[in-house]
């Protein structure tokens, strides 16, 4: 029997279910890879104290990783919210010799404005994890922070950002243009060639967790044997359909619909150009 590829997300738990570990595992399931998790923190706002980020101990992080690694085995790893310098250093140690595909989503701030990376952790992310990544997937504000505050406004800015971020050492850089005016264009740079992936912007505010869903889908497709370009193409199509069927149970920004492709048939068409 052929078993599905084993994929691990190391990220924060988003209690509301739209992002983080929850988005990653839903995406892994939709794409038929075997999902496992290391929870670094719980993100959930306490109604009285207002405390939003509840860190897990280093011991708990190490225990989860050891379980996934020894009891199951890992083909690909996705990193999401790590929050602190200490967790980044711990995760860097844990995965140091893994040789697995490594997708780094440099999560910093959620769409609801929750702070998901401490200021003093940015340098550690740049030095300890990004250089070893198979691909990094910053959105525009994250790319801007990684480039020391550079202003990014249009697709040409995204192209230059991808080229400059590549100098930090990752094999591939995907800068996501979710916040561009007009079409939703993402730019991939592999050190030699720029490829752009574009879809018409969908008129919705329910995009919570879109970035997590996208990077989880990229991880899943690479684990299934796609090249990086093929994986980004397929993942962009998957996340676009998830965004198209995004919804909300309340009057706040709602989740993307991870089951969009399964429930509604064909995934969205993505224009790919060099
Ligand atoms: N309204 C939209 N219509 C279509 N695609 C979108 C829309 N908003 C974001 N995207 C796409 O969703 C993916 C996630 O991007 P983004 O929202 O920028 O990430 P993040 O959730 O990390 O902030 C990207 O492919 C981006 O182009
Ligand atoms: C626990 C947790 N991790 C990551 C995010 C950010 O998710 P992302 O898909 O990058 O963007 P938002 O749409 O949520 O801003 C999160 N919110 N929570």
Banded pLDDT at 100 (limits 50, 70, 90): confident
Closest approach atom of ligand 2 to CA 139:
10
Relative to the alpha carbon of 24, which ligand is closest?
2
Between the CA of 2 and the centroid of ligand 2 the distance, in Å, is 33
Task: Give the orientation angle of helix 210-223 with respect to helix 228-244, to 10 degrees.
Answer: 140
pLDDT, tens digit, 9 for 90 and up, residues 53-80: 999 999 999 999 999 999 999 999 999 9
Closest approach atom of ligand 2 to CA 213:
9
The C-alpha atoms of residue 196 and residue 105 are separated, in whole angstroms, by 18
Specify the pLDDT at position 55: 97
Relative to the alpha carbon of 240, which ligand is closest?
1
Buried b (16+ CB within 10 A) or exposed e, 34-59: bbbbbbbbbbbeeeeeeebbeebebe
Ligand 1 near 214 CB (within 6 A)? yes
Structure ipTM over 0.95, yes or no: yes
- Nearest CA-CA partner of 166 in 156, 175, 178: 175
Between the CA of 69 and the centroid of ligand 1 the distance, in Å, is 31
> What is the arithmetic mean of pLDDT over 159-174?
98
Domains of the chain: 6-246+254-273 (3.40.1190.20)
């Amino acid at each position: 029997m052929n078993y599905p590829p084993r994929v691990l997300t190391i990220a924060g738990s988003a209690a509301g279910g739209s992002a983080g570990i929850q988005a990653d595992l839903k995406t892994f399931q939709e794409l038929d890879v075997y999902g496992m998790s290391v929870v670094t923190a719980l993100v959930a706002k306490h109604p009285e104290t207002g405390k939003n980020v509840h860190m897990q101990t280093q011991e708990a992080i190490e225990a989860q990783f050891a379980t996934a690694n020894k009891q199951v085995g890992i083909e690909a790893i996705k990193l999401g919210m790590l929050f602190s310098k200490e967790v980044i250093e711990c995760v860097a140690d844990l995965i140091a010799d893994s040789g697995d595909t490594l997708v780094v989503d440099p999560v910093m701030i959620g769409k609801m404005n929750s702070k998901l990376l401490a200021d003093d952790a940015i340098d550690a992310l740049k030095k300890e994890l990004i250089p070893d990544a198979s691909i990094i997937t910053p959105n525009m504000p994250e790319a801007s922070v990684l480039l020391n505050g550079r202003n990014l406004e249009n697709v040409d800015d995204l192209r230059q950002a991808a080229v400059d971020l590549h100098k930090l050492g990752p094999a591939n850089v995907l800068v996501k243009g979710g916040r561009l005016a007009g079409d939703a264009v993402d730019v991939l740079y592999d050190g030699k060639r720029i490829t752009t992936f574009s879809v018409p912007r969908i008129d919705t505010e329910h995009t919570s967790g879109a970035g997590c869903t996208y990077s989880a889908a990229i991880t899943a497709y690479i684990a299934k044997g796609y090249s990086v370009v093929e994986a980004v193409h397929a993942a962009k199509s998957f996340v676009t359909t998830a965004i198209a069927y995004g919804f909300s149970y309340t009057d706040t920004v709602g989740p993307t619909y991870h089951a969009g492709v399964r429930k509604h048939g064909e995934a969205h068409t993505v224009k790919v150009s060099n």
